[in-house]
Chains A and B, each alone.
Chain A
């Protein structure tokens, strides 16, 4: 059994689909933070068979959990303070995501306009469909689908 030490303040993202931890690592921009991050791949899970876990030691207001909700809203987010779980955050599909994914429509204004954010809007919560705010192109990526 692999042991990773407890964290003082931060997050434990549990029940990440096996193999997705690095995607979340990049999209949360954890590489840009000067904090301790543990990436646990392919941990045993009674519910999922295999799962990934991310442990991040950082102030709890520093991460944008909308990104995690977009990638997979079934991930469990445990918020840690003073080495104890103080809350379990229920993730929802964010209504809007900014600068996480890019519009792939070559005819979209986002392909040429300088300084313009890449904004996607949740247009169908049931089918989990996101569309570019500007050209309404559907997002066909593999983050959460």
Chain B
């Protein structure tokens, strides 16, 4: 296990200051341009991916990021292939993983599980998504994509569309963006999936960030610099009927894209189902696959930083 001066965990995007985020983005940009410079910085180090629920992008992204730096991967990809089936606690699992690995990315369907791990972990724990709660590395990917495409993270009108109630990426993104100046949100959702009141009371209002809530996507699109689409997630609903009623509420297609400006980029945390027509993919403003690309470099930069690798140089 790598000895660290400061053991640090990342549970929420707000665990990082704006300055630290900016540094991470600079580092990620350098990693993208100069991959050889970082190709062996993790030689001999291991990442444990402890994924208690299925994930394709996030897990592959973490694993690729570690492989890019010359490290190795251990872990499991679902609760059924872990000792959780035998009743092992999250705390014990991380104690065990900490004996093998140097850093851990944890996804868990229960909210707060990575924090339980962080409380006892001997190695840095990165929250890779905990239920409907937080997903900090997705936020890092989102910010990096916006900054790269728009050249700034301030003075932006950001439309967020879809499931704003259960969407963890949405809450994390809003919390991170309100720290920049000149941000304005247009929150687009059906009544039932509106942003929770605590996000308004504790994040938007104290920051003085202007926002409006609308139902029609068409009304919002002409005003936007960024359109952040989300999927209505089946796994967040207790009731199948509610899910069926909500899932096709918004579909972004070529017609709606015509209403947007030439630099209104479309982001989506993926996987998408029906909410973005595949015909939109060829539009140069479709940035959701670029988001995946930048996400990997942000995870690489984050692990590099938590492992204090830059401090060796």
Contacts and interface: CB of A to CB of B under 8 A. Distances in A.
B70 interface: no
Given A133-B115, A135-B112, A113 B131 contact: no
A111 B91 CA distance: 14
A109 B202 contact: no
A137 B90 CA distance: 20
Interface in B48-99: 87, 89-91
B110 interface: yes
Contacts of A138: 198
Nearest to A105: B111
Contacts of B108: 109
Given A124-B202, A136-B133, A111 B116 contact: no
Contacts of B113: 109, 113, 134
A108 B131 CA distance: 8
Contacts of B89: 113-116
Interface of A: 105, 107-116, 123-124, 132-138
A111 B90 CA distance: 12
A34 B111 CA distance: 39
Contacts, number: 56
A124 B202 CA distance: 9
A112 to B, nearest CB: 6
Classify chain B: how many residues form its interface, as a range.
Answer: 10 to 19
Contacts of A113: 89-91, 110, 113, 116
Contacts of B131: 107, 135
B166 to A, nearest CB: 10
B162 to A, nearest CB: 19
Contacts of B124: none
Contacts of B90: 109, 113
B132 interface: yes
A107 B202 contact: no
A112 B91 CA distance: 12
A107 B132 contact: yes
B21 to A, nearest CB: 21
Nearest to A114: B89
B298 to A, nearest CB: 23
B112 A110 contact: yes
Nearest to A131: B198
Nearest to B197: A138
13 contacts: A107-B109, A107-B111, A107-B133, A108-B112, A109-B112, A113-B89, A113-B116, A114-B89, A115-B89, A115-B91, A116-B91, A136-B111, A136-B133
A133 B133 CA distance: 12
A122 to B, nearest CB: 13
Contacts of A134: 111-113, 115-116
B116 A109 contact: yes
B79 to A, nearest CB: 11
A124 B206 CA distance: 12
Nearest to A127: B201
Given A113-B90, A138-B198, A108 B110 contact: yes
A108 B132 CA distance: 10
Contacts of A137: 111
Contacts of A115: 89, 91
Contacts of A109: 90, 108, 110-113, 115-116, 130
Contacts of A132: 112
A135 B111 contact: yes
Contacts of A124: 202
Nearest to A112: B110
Given A113-B116, A116-B116, A108 B111 contact: yes
Contacts of B115: 109, 133-134
B110 A107 contact: yes
A133 B116 CA distance: 10
